[in-house]
Structure 1
Amino acid sequence: MGAQPLRLDIALFTPRDVADSVAHAKSEAERLAGIAEAELRRQTAAEWAKFWRASAVELEDKELEQIWYRNQYFLACCVKPGKVAPGLFGNWSTGRIGTAWHGDYHMNYNTQQVWWGVFSSNHVEQHEPYTRLVENLMPMAEWNARVQFGLPGAYFPHTAYPVPSNVNPYPAPPWGYEICETPWTVQSLWWQYKYTLDEQYLRRVYPMLKAAADFLIAFLTKGEDGKYHVIPTVSPENWGATVDYRLNRDCIIDLALTEFLLDAMVEGSEALGVDAALRDKWREVRRNLAAYPTAEGPYGRVWLDIVNAPVEHVYNVPVPLSPVFPAERVGLGSPPELLEFARRTARPGRVEGGNDLVWQPLARARLGILDLEWFKGEVRYCLTPLGVANDRVRQTGGRYRDETNFDFMMRMGVWTENLSLPAVINECLMQSYDGVIRLFPNTANLGKARFRQLRAAGAFLVDASWDGKTVGGVTIKSEKGAAARIVNPWAPGRAQVILLSTGAAVRHTERGGVLEFATRSGATYAVKRATESPAA
């Protein structure tokens, strides 16, 4: 007989889970010990099979494909419905590993970035811990607004911990006064609704969206120019507090995310049939927000992170690109002059390498200018031996100096924020953030590719392929019966829509290169290149 392998059945609970966590953990460990190893393996295999059925990509470039699958796996190892949302370093904490900055939640991109790819990857369930995190932060956020500012609504903290709190234990000045963190914290709650059209979920999160909007409406100051200004504020980890608010006025990410939230409030309130009396105010403020700060740079006029900031500054994260992402104000569907303005801002790429591994390439993909060969090099530069991409210094002149240890962040642990790398690849394969599906919008050094069941805004699941020259194999499954809008990937008028269950042609319109057709909940449609121009 062979030696009996060592087996440890471990269960871990806290008083937040059950009142008597010790007794419950012991009982659960005993229950697990009674299950045969073969059955445990079967259950585990079944769970992973279910996970991988949700979506898939097949890329000719196997390095890109590996980035997609590896990070989907790592993220699934630390994000699970019903569990605590991961902090800066997720599950992986021991000694000096995973304990920098207390391993806490930082709400000026780190925490939000973890979930940037879950919707397009069709893993909506992974967002559940974040929804509960925001719910748990509400008492503290309302306290912040009421006590620190004397204002209504909710002002979300810069740092937080996975325990309920009615007060802010660590205000973290000056970074705690980054106004953008309030609309940013609630942004993905709106994304979940947009990508699922789940009205029950919207009813759950609407009060949090409204609380954030209430604070912003009260905080904004209407100037003599008739515009609403964000004064004072702090650019995300740039400049700090300055004399006479010289660098504390109208941060571009504050303005762009406020636009995002106010648009969401109008649409969300209409969907739920509530707060009709507030919509005119939301629209008026949205319409009259201050302009994004700009200046003339060596390559032309560009966005700045904040009024009076120098051009060509080396940023820790690409704050000047905020109107592109995360705020989704500018993209491939924008007027050509605005799109070129955004591209001109993006091209110099003056970011230091500390915190931009996902954000910068994602914004470039949204603009259709991401070179995936460059992207692979950036990821490769930051890889650990285990295949996790952390952060390494790339450029000095911002927060870092020549004497800075270039890999000081590599040893801190697993940076969960970078497990969202699949989002960058997804945005090269398909974009839909503005309600229009764009297939393979960024193909520079992509190679042949195909994907299955990527999720689009409007509650659609999409399949498509790219042979290096043309798009094919397009199917769209409608979960909620919304109207589908898709950029015609072929010549104008040379597309047809087929209902797969019957093979019948579906009536569609085409305006400005965008196909639009009605859908039925649960139905799947093929979009094909027509041999003859179909009747519209």
Structure 2
Amino acid sequence: QTDTSQREQEEAARRYKNYRRELNLRNATATTTSKGEKRAYFTSFAHDVGVVRIKSAKKKRMVLRLDRPESFVTTAENGQLVMRGTLNSGVEGQEGMHYVVRIGVNTSRGHVTCSGDSIVLEGVRKTTLIFSAATSYSCEDPEQHSNDLLQAALSVKYRKLRRDHIRHYQPFFNRVALHLGVQKRPVALPTDQRLQQAQKANDSALDALYFHYGRYLFISSSRPGQLPPNLQGLWAHTIQTPWNGDYHLNINLPMNHWLAEPCNLPELHRPLIDFTKSLVPSGEHTARSFYGAPGWVAHVICNPWHFTAPGEHPSWGATQTGGAWLCQHLWNHYLYNKDTTYCKEVYPTMKGAAEFFLNTLVPDPSGRWLVTAPSISPENSFYMPQGKTAVQVCMGPAMDTQIIKELFSNTIQASELLQTDEEFRNQWQQALDKLAPDQISPQGYLQEWLEDYQETDLHHRHVSHLYGLFPGNSISPVHTPELAQACEKTLERRGDGGTGWSRAWKINFWARLKNGERAYRLLKLLLSPQSTYPNLFCSHPPFQIDGNFGGARGIVEMLLQEHDGFIDLLPALPKAWQAGFFKGLKVPGNIHVSCRWKKGKVRKVILEAPTGGTCTVSANGQQITVTLLPGEKKQLRFTR
């Protein structure tokens, strides 16, 4: 922050009348400009530091300080600002996590002096501020590590810092391109005004911008060796972050990673994959302690310290299938990349999750099926038959059964691929055959519970019993048309309201149902002030990043699907996107797809398969089967 007098503040107010703030998604750099000053900001994964570049037309005085609301001491040492502190562990008598934050200054002219808890810059026109940080969570010596990072970055000129940052970011961002609709001229409105205008008239360029913004957020918050992004990604600005800044496994953490594979960012899926593997020891303890069962389990609440037990309240914290849902990501990463060595790496984690359910599923009261018990349908409740008592805890909610079916099926395929565990494979298949089927109520919607109970909230934000439609693949208009029709009825009953992430999920549902206009309607609602803040962060409220990732994935689903066994181009194209192109999206089998369309019809498709393969492409009512050699690229043209 800058220390100014009242006169200087008044001068700053006049100067900032021409203020402009911008985020460049192509190089992951934020800038602010005003009369006589420009600032650039970026966080460099190449050097693991934050960088602020300040350029002024005139020499100026700045005072730098570091503070936070609690648990810190800041000192000026050897030309650096150093903040140190220890956070509350939440356990009496146990010391919390230590952290160290440093700011250093690079400037060729002017004077830099330390004064108490501040650094004072006099007569400066150009300066670079370098920010480093480390904690004892993953670093044995945060003091030394933060200093090493800072000193290394201070030895590098600003231009190289910026160049290294861009070179580290763009190889991820440039893998995919997307252009939607026909934009006659660039839109010069600020984002907040543009969001308002988009509610009155379609803005296909804003739709594409939202997609790219989702990719930018994911690239900026996920790297191998780090923790996966949480409910706020990396952008929490309060001491007590919403929901403790943890991981929720009943939709939110999985939704954070829906972009990883189709947007060809498999490396950025690794933090979630590695985190899932790291949950196993804690999950095994939870399985033994709570259920007396082998294998491992995780429920809804999770955190960097591997909490896997049921949490907080049975109405929402008792879902047993959180870990099983994460196992979908382990298998999807294999399907998209076809790496048998990787499959061997994650198979024990999948096997452990499947083993847990093999030993804990019980017959339902009628004796017809195997079900989970006790469990819940995430965060929803229902009335008992007399219609007065609201209940959450139940046996065999639809979502549990759909996830476990998927877990058993995927683990069986993995064991066949690796030629191992034939006995377990047979047991999983036997249990799979006894799981409850999806049921359609007399009113035509998909049942959320074993019995056709009445929801206490008909328009509840969770639509968990449609997991099989998305992100699962067990329900589709092609292979299970009656169930797909029941899902449509369910969505009509639920309505288009809900939190930002709920609307994002519904975009994907409607895209899977091949209803482009309804999916686009949900996208516009997601981009409304109720669900999106002026900086494009998704609103729960408060800010939750999963809606950004889920909404961006919904745009992919509208343009490209493969879950029915063939590459389906433009399966849910709305009228607003009658022309456009995408490049570099990815489908299972490690096949990269690019497509150009006009007047709602596919004109050209380019397929590329780094590892080779055979696929069937469906477009304009035609189907073409293509075989590609490793590294081969083929172009297909479709007639009107």
TM range (shorter): 0.7 to 0.9
Q: 2:539 aligns with which of 378, 385, 390?
A: 390
Structure 2 gap segments, 5+ residues each: 1-57, 60-123, 182-203
1:378 aligns with 2:520: no
Q: How far is the alpha carbon of 1:230 from its aligned partner?
A: 2.4
Aligned counterpart, 1:463: 594
Task: Out of 223-232 and 438-447, give the one that drifted further.
Answer: 223-232
Which residue, 191, 204, 207 being the options, matches 2:348?
A: 207
Give 1:455 shift: 0.5
Distance change (3 Å), C-alpha of 1:283 and 1:79: same
Find the aligned partners of 2:617 and 2:256 in 1 and give their Cα distance.
28
Task: Measure how far apart 1:73 and its partner are.
Answer: 1.3
Instruction: Quote the offset at 1:440 in angstroms.
Output: 0.5
SS at match of 1:347: helix
5 Å-filtered alignment, 1:53-64, equals 53-60=174-181, 61-64=204-207
Give 1:140's match in structure 2, choosing from 282, 285, 289: 282
Shift of 1:153: 0.7
State the distance in 2 between where 1:227 and 1:168 align: 26
Q: What's the secondary structure of 2:502's corresponding residue?
A: coil
- Pick aligned residue for 1:420 from 526, 550, 553: 550
Distance 1:240 1:415, change over 3 A: farther
In 2 relative to 1, CA 132–491 (structure 1 residues): closer, same or farther, beyond 3 Å? Answer: closer
Kindly indicate whether the alpha-carbon contact (under 8 Å) linking 1:241 and 1:247 is maintained by their aligned counterparts in 2: no
- In the alignment, is the contact (CA less than 8 A) between 2:225 and 2:271 conserved in 1? yes
Identity among equivalent positions (%) equals: 22
SS at match of 2:558: helix
Q: Residues of 1 paired with 2:445 and 2:173: CA distance?
A: 45
Tell me, in whole angstroms, the C-alpha distance in 2 between the residues paired with 1:55 and 1:416. Answer: 20
Q: Is 1:249 the counterpart of 2:395 in the alignment? A: yes
Task: Give the Cα–Cα distance (whole angstroms) in 2 for the partners of residues 230 and 467 of structure 1.
Answer: 49
| Contact 2:609–2:631 (CA under 8 A) maintained in structure 1 | yes
- In structure 2, the residue matched to 1:357 is 503
Gaps of 5+ in 1: 392-408, 493-513, 532-536
Equivalent residue, structure 1, for 2:603 = 472
Alignment of 1:77-92 (within 5 A): 77-92=220-235
Give the paired residue count: 486
Counterpart code for 2:255: Q
After the TM superposition, which residues 134-533 of structure 1 pair with which residues of structure 2 at under 5 Å, given as runs?
134-164=276-306, 168=309, 170=311, 172-223=313-364, 225-239=367-381, 248-297=394-443, 300-305=444-449, 307-310=451-454, 313-350=458-495, 352-354=497-499, 355-371=501-517, 372-381=519-528, 382-391=531-540, 409=541, 412-445=542-575, 446-487=577-618, 489-492=619-622, 514-529=623-638
Name the CA distance, whole Å, in 1 between partners of 2:449 and 2:511.
20
d(CA) in 1 for partners of 2:328, 2:393:
25
Moved more, 98-107 or 312-321: 312-321
**Letter in structure 1 aligned against 2:525:** E
Deviations 1:338-382 (A, max 9, x none): 332332323333365124022111111111124244123212221
Question: Is the 1:486–1:515 Cα contact (8 Å) retained in structure 2?
Answer: yes
Q: Following TM superposition, by how much is the alpha carbon of 1:48 offset from its aligned partner in structure 2, in angstroms?
A: 2.9
Question: Higher relative contact order at CA 8 Å, sep ≥6: structure 1 or structure 2?
Answer: 1
CA distance in 1, matches of 2:134, 2:332: 31
Q: TM-score, normalised by structure 2?
A: 0.71
Contact 1:174 1:240 in 2 (8 A): no
Larger strand share, 1 or 2 = 2
TM-score normalized by the length of structure 1: 0.84
Q: Which secondary structure state, in structure 2, belongs to the residue aligned with residue 6 of structure 1?
A: strand
CA distance in 2, matches of 1:47, 1:222: 53
How far off is 1:332 after superposition?
A: 3.7
Cα distance in 1 for residues equivalent to 2:310 and 2:412: 33
Contact persistence 1:92–1:414 (CA under 8 A): no
Cα gap change, 1:302 to 1:28, in 2 (>3 Å): closer
Aligned residues of 2:377 and 2:397 also touching (Cα < 8 A): yes
The separation in 1 between residues aligned to 2:442 and 2:590, in whole angstroms, is 41
1:229 and 1:290 in contact (8 A); partners too: yes
For residue 159 of structure 1, report the CA deviation from its aligned partner. Answer: 1.1
- What is aligned with 1:5? 126
Q: How far apart, in 2, do the equivalents of 1:152 and 1:136 lie?
A: 17
CA distance in 2, matches of 1:203, 1:5: 53
Deviates more, 1:43-52 or 1:2-11: 2-11
State which drifts further: 519-528 or 209-218.
Answer: 519-528
Distance 2:392 2:288 in 1: 27
Letter in 1 for 2:417: A
**Does residue 75 in structure 1 map to residue 218 in structure 2?**
yes
Q: Is the 8 A contact 2:505 2:551 kept in 1?
A: no
Secondary structure of the structure 2 residue equivalent to 1:333: coil
**Matching residue of 2:38:** none
Q: Which segment drifts farther, 121-130 or 334-343?
A: 334-343
Cα displacement string for residues 368-405 of structure 1 (whole angstroms, at most 9, x for unaligned residues): 124244123212221212121223xxxxxxxxxxxxxx
Matched-pair contact (CA < 8 Å) for 1:246–1:308: no
Distance 1:337 1:416 in 2: 30
Counterpart of 1:402?
Answer: none
Give the match for residue 507 of structure 1. Answer: none
Q: Contact 1:317–1:359 (CA<8 Å) still a contact in 2?
A: no
User: Displacement of 1:8 after TM fit?
Assistant: 2.1
Residues 41 and 182 of structure 1: is their aligned pair in 2 closer, same or farther, counting only changes over 3 Å? Answer: closer
Distance in 1, matches of 2:463 and 2:263, equals 24
* Alignment deviations for residues 32-53 of structure 1 (CA, whole Å, 9 cap, x no partner): 0000001011112222321222
Q: Structure 1 residues 168, 253: closer, same or farther in 2, change over 3 A?
A: closer
In structure 2, what is the Cα distance between the partners aligned to 1:15 and 1:433?
A: 43
**1:19 equivalent among 112, 126, 140:** 140
Does structure 2 conserve the Cα–Cα contact (< 8 Å) formed by 1:252 and 1:323? no
In the alignment, the residues of structure 1 paired with residue 266 and residue 449 of structure 2 have an alpha-carbon distance, to the nearest angstrom, of 31
Greater mean alpha carbon deviation, residues 356-365 or residues 70-79: 70-79
Aligned-pair distance for 1:427? Answer: 0.4
The residue type paired with residue 127 of structure 2 is L
Which deviates more from structure 2 when the two are superposed, residues 216-225 or residues 83-92?
216-225
| Preserved contact between residue 328 and residue 407 of structure 2 (Cα < 8 Å) | yes
- SS at 1:212 equivalent: helix
